[in-house]
Chain A
Amino acid sequence: EVQLVESGGGLVQPGGSLRLSCTASGFTFSSYDMHWVRQVTGKGLEWVSAIGTFADTYYPDSVKGRFTISRENAKNSLYLQMNSLRAGDTAVYYCARIARGGSYTRGYFDLWGRGTLVTVSS
């Protein structure tokens, strides 16, 4: 089955760190650009980071310098290292696959995981 499964979410104090993981199955992970997208409970979607097949990365200003996206193709895994966390980072974090055929920063998402909840609170 083609799927993405996130893990690693939880409760963390402001200023703390957390590492999210996403495990892919059912497709050739190394051939796809991958992203993280987050969603505050009951709110809209916000793009968080992107990584291309050659491990080139891109971030919006809201997380640049605090978050790091990486991948380990041998393990079919995507990661998001989150440092200096703030209350505003509280959200469900989804990993999402970019459909083939476009730039890794200019794509639409054809596969989403179920998400993992990150709560930043003291």
Chain B
Amino acid sequence: DIVMTQSPDSLAVSLGERATINCKSSQSVFYSFNNKNYLAWYQQKPGQSPKLLIYWASIRESGVPDRFSGSGSGTDFTLTISSLQAEDVAVYYCQQHYDTPLTFGGGTKVEIK
């Protein structure tokens, strides 16, 4: 199984400041035949179900604010919130869909400092 490791487990950021979440996979999730990284990011607000933010490692889902961005390739990925807003308080998960079983990172809780 591909193990997804997120860091940190939690972080507190001031409003308007940058938040950076890391995700590392135990093996590469990059497919050279289509030049894509099989990595997605989700946001889960308290009491809600997960919501897709980013797919193919760096493509924002429709309707997601452009302060959210994804980067990275191979085994190392980053989700960045460029200017944290109050509504961004949530747990963020990465997920690999390179191979079965599909696996998620353990989550990173983002709070306001």
Beyond A45-B93, A45-B104, is A108–B98 a contact (Cβ under 8 Å)? Answer: no
A44 in contact with B38 (CB, 8 Å): no
Assess whether A8 is interfacial by the CB under 8 Å rule.
no
Interface centre among A47, A61, A94 (most CB of B within 10 A): A47
Q: Majority SS of interface residues in chain B?
A: loop
Chain A residue numbers with a CB within 8 Å of B107 are 44-45
Q: Are B49 and A108 in contact (CB under 8 A)?
A: no
Q: Which residue of A lies closest to B100 (CB)?
A: A105
B77 at the interface (CB under 8 A from A): no
The verdict on B72 contacting chain A, using a C-beta distance below 8 Å, is no
Distance between A23 CB and nearest chain B CB, rounded to angstroms: 15
Distance A44 CA – B92 CA, assembled complex (angstroms): 10
Given A94-B49, A108-B40, A109-B50, do A102 and B97 touch, yes or no (CB 8 Å)? yes
Name A115's contact: one of B49, B93, B102 (CB within 8 Å).
B49
Contact partner of A106 among B50, B52, B97, B104, CB < 8 A? B97
Shortest distance in angstroms between A61's beta carbon and chain B's nearest beta carbon?
A: 8
Residues of B whose CB lies within 8 Å of any CB of A are: 38, 40, 42, 48-52, 55, 61, 93, 95, 97-107
Apart from A109-B50, A114-B48, 19 more pairs, CB < 8 Å = A45-B50, A47-B101, A47-B102, A50-B100, A58-B100, A61-B101, A94-B50, A102-B97, A106-B98, A106-B99, A107-B97, A108-B40, A108-B52, A108-B95, A109-B52, A110-B52, A110-B61, A112-B51, A114-B49
Task: Give the B-binding residues of A (Cβ under 8 A).
Answer: 35, 44-47, 50, 58, 60-61, 94, 99, 102, 105-115
